[in-house]
Structure 1
Amino acid sequence: MTITALMSTPFGTLFLEADELGMTQIRMATIADVATENTSKYIDATQTQLTEYFEGNRQTFDLCLHPIGTDFQQKVWRELQNIPYGRAVSYLEMSKRLGNVKAIRAAASANGKNPLLIVIPCHRVIGKDGSLTGFTAGLAVKKWLLEHESEAKQQSLF
């Protein structure tokens, strides 16, 4: 059984989805997305922790996640969770962390298919020249998230 919710954020509305094993999706909502009438402990915990994150009171998440993807995508998504709050790595560095520098395109593709926005911090991966590159929620949201996590909040990183 799938439970869904909509959550307002500083940059728009998120769509949250959970099944009986944990959170399966956190993404930008579309006009067609609707919330189910019932909720779940996974949705409730996610809303609480994301609210704390947006308020600046949380840097890590302790949620039950159940992202659906290939073995390689799962490996990339686990590695993304090792990027500390307030830090960014390049796609090249990401592929090195995965143990195969030649897997840079595959790692970038898996990063782009991350179904759990923010909680699996794919926004922390940037171009090797420091540029903001692809982000399913849009570069303005990626910039907002990176600046939100920056120690120098009064200065723009990009």
Structure 2
Amino acid sequence: MIQDRPDATAQAALDAYARRPVSFAFLDIKGEPLRVTNAPYDFTFSGTGDEDLDGFTFKALDPQLVSIGPVRAKEGGSDTLTLRLSGLPGVDDELMTALGNRAAYVGRDCRLWRGMLHPDNLALLGGVWSYFTGYMSVPRIVGDRQSQTIELDVETYLAELASATPNRATRKG
């Protein structure tokens, strides 16, 4: 018999295969490094062997306030990745001040990792894996004082080298 939705047995099977991917982001903003995650709680890493992870806490942020655009691979590297960050005056003043100094972010690293959480107890399943590394370029402020966001483009090393656009970011020294 055909039903409009899964029955209890089918739903239990679907629930058993639930996946809960989470992302971790490191933005190497000089003097104000930002480590955030869309996991439901803060994460502190140890023993991964990655100097950008070990010993650092990635702060859990509301995914409605922060988002990572899709990573699209293409010949010569990935397309430009866009990060959307909260930029509300009075709430995100430290980040806004840091991004006011071009030397604090242009050409500096942005790294992204993924991991999987157990659907029931939200424990990390296995390790995390790196899936994108690039260099930050000039941010754009979008919106107004009530719903302002920062859009920050990140380019891979290959895309940065191939670009002939003026004022392109140069790698930090």
TM-score (norm 1): 0.27
Give the TM-score of the pair, scaled to structure 2: 0.26
Structure with higher helix content? 1
Which structure shows the bigger proportion of residues in strand conformation? 2
Structure with max Cα Rg: 2
